[in-house]
Amino acid sequence: MISESPSTTLYTLGRGILYIGEWSGSCPPTSLTDVGSVSTLNVQVAEEKAKKYKFRNGVKVSNGIRTLVFNYLVSFILDEKSTFNMQAFLKASFHESNVYYAGTELEKEYQIRFRADNTNGPNEVWDFHRVSISPETAIDLISDVWTSLSFSGEGIPDYIYHTEDPFFNVIVGSTTTSMSTQSTTSSSSSISSTTSTS
């Protein structure tokens, strides 16, 4: 049951686990990888609108607003330099169990799932069906602060596997994030049975 305002149960301190999986050509991922500690995750809905005006009188009057473009942007910071995370950051293939070939995987797209585990506020599962991600800032090789990998991404609508919700969806309800495996099965119609949403 979702609370309605006013309610202090809706005050939220965001926590949770981020999962990412690679698309294979035109096919969505069959599994999602837990990418470890994530210190920041942001989502921004983006629109481009056009205004229509009437010019029948001395004052130009707005006659309506139409949405031309709808999309979304994501950004996140990963704290762990795992093989999967480094490959995404360097856009690299991985060879001989210890060598990254940077710039050899430039066109990869990803599904991103965030499973909230908030001590304060409602819990949700956010599924971003198809996202193109890129490195956002430099990686610090020498620094007095912990190294992190910063990403930004832009949504790509998926009209084939998600005809009713081509951009992303949000499932509201309690979640359990504790898992003993490294990945969770992806599904276009429901949350995987390997992670609980109830």
- Three-state DSSP at 118 gives coil
Judged against a pLDDT cut of 80, whether residue 7 lies above it is answered with yes
Q: Mean pLDDT check: name the lowest of 3-12, 21-30, 101-110, 136-145.
A: 3-12
Closest CA to 87 of 33, 25, 39: 33
Report how far residue 38's alpha carbon sits from residue 33's, in angstroms, rounded to the nearest whole number: 13
Q: What is the pLDDT of residue 182?
A: 45
- Mean pLDDT throughout 128-157? 97
**Average pLDDT value over all residues in the chain:** 88
pLDDT value of residue 70? 92
pLDDT at 57 over 90: no
Domain ranges of the chain: 18-185
Binned at pLDDT 50, 70 and 90, residue 175 comes out as: low
Higher pLDDT, 65 or 130: 130
CB burial of 52-78 (b: ≥16 within 10 Å; e: otherwise) equals eeeeeeeeeeeeeeeeeeeebebebbb
- pLDDT for the residue numbered 174: 58
| Closest by CA position to 146, among listed 36, 63, 66, 62 | 36
